[in-house]
Structure 1
Amino acid sequence: MEPRKKRLLFVAGLVGLLLGILFLPLQIKIWKLEKEIVRLEETKKMLQQEHSRLEQDLQYYSSDAYVEEFARRELGLVKPGELLVIPALPGKVQPPPEGLDENPYEE
């Protein structure tokens, strides 16, 4: 092989090596960023599902059915004409106060 071709081949190899050295860190960064994109897309999907669930919860907690259930359960409220019955715990029953009719709800 003549010296000119050897030199050209050496220079081409050197340029290729330099380009590889220059672009390898960039390619590694691209691979890392692609991996990060996949992770972020999975997180986005999970957050969208959570958002959907929270929207459903908000819709339920804003409904008349929930307000009524909460008023009955937590506040002990009843509708007009209903009678609230609280069961007594065994051994914890106290006699009615003096002067109270036997059945105050009868007319």
Structure 2
Amino acid sequence: MALTLWGSTEVSALIGGPFTTAEVHARLRREIDTMNAHKVQYWPVFFLQDNELAGCAGLRPYRTGEDVFELGVHLRPSYWGQGIALEAALAVVAYAFEHMAAKSLFAGHHP
């Protein structure tokens, strides 16, 4: 799944890519390490109408020790413009405040 998403030149162009297969594997390893260390990650997002991977959405520590997280959403191009990013982001925001005791969230974008 990671290669399907982060291996896409269209997706990765928006997050600092393109990425080689080795870089995608390293990125996945960092996500797993973040989950183990901070109990947050980017979770897969599936489009329920076709059960296909649409992308991922989640949290990563932004200011550790201050309960500030960065929110992110990465979607495959065929799922752009359908409101999925908003729906996923709202679910992540709810999770952050209800389960992670976040004090604030940060979201940015790659130029």
The structure with the largest helix share of the pair is 1
Greater RCO, 1 or 2 (C-alpha within 8 Å, sep 6+) = 2
TM band (smaller chain)? under 0.3
The structure with the largest strand share of the pair is 2
What TM-score comes out, normalization by structure 1 length?
Answer: 0.21
